[in-house]
């Protein structure tokens, strides 16, 4: 690889690091080209999966101001640069790794700090943003319904008491 090509590759990877909300580092040793294509499809539009030389990836991470990933850049390395929700990409990679034992999750980077494999798996086990927002909205609606019922209860009790007194009075007059 010529020096100009290496500089361009480093600049491209550094730009991807800067634009990504998260980066998931994997080892792809033993995967076929068809497997990699399937993995890229499973990631969808939320992430790009890039095979990178370790020395170039280390340099690009340093250029992007990312620290703590150097030990991950050993062996055949590919990086999933996440542009959307990190949960969706982590789910796709974890599912693919479960089906294809050759894919190994090494670690990642998100919110200004490195991620361990267990943190990525925890991230993958989270529900999607939409599901969590729906649950939050449901809980908030339930609480407001409870509050409305609580505020309406004394008024309905007074109305029932008045009706009972009126019935009692009518029964006394009839007797």
Domain 3-126 adopts which CATH fold? Alpha-Beta Plaits (3.30.70)
pLDDT tens digits along 81-102: 998 888 888 888 999 988 888 8
pLDDT tens digits along 45-77: 888 888 889 889 999 988 888 888 888 888 889
Q: What's the rounded Cα separation, in Å, for the pair 76 and 4?
A: 23
Whether this prediction's pTM lies above 0.85 is answered by no
Q: Where are the domains of the chain?
A: 3-126, 129-175
Q: What's the rounded Cα separation, in Å, for the pair 157 and 89?
A: 54
Who's near 126: CB < 8 A, 6+ residues apart? Answer: 87, 132
Q: Are 17 and 60 in contact (CB under 8 A)?
A: yes
Q: 161 pLDDT band (50/70/90 cuts)? A: confident
């Amino acid at each position: 690889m010529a020096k100009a090509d290496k500089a361009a590759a480093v600049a491209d990877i550094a730009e991807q690091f800067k634009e990504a909300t998260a980066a998931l580092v994997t080892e792809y040793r033993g995967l076929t080209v068809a497997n990699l294509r399937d993995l890229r499809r499973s990631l969808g539009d939320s992430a790009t999966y890039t095979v990178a030389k370790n020395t170039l990836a280390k340099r690009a991470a340093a250029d992007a101001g990312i620290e703590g990933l150097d030990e991950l850049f050993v062996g055949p390395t590919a990086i999933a640069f996440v542009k959307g929700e990190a949960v969706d990409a982590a789910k796709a990679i974890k599912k693919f790794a479960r089906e294809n034992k050759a894919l190994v999750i090494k670690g990642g980077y998100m919110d200004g700090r490195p991620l361990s494999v267990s943190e990525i798996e925890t991230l993958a086990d989270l529900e999607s943003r939409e599901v969590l927002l729906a649950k939050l909205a449901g809980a908030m609606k339930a609480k407001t319904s409870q509050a409305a019922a609580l505020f309406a209860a004394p008024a309905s009790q007074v109305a029932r008491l008045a009706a009972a007194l009126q019935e009692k009075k009518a029964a006394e007059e009839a007797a």
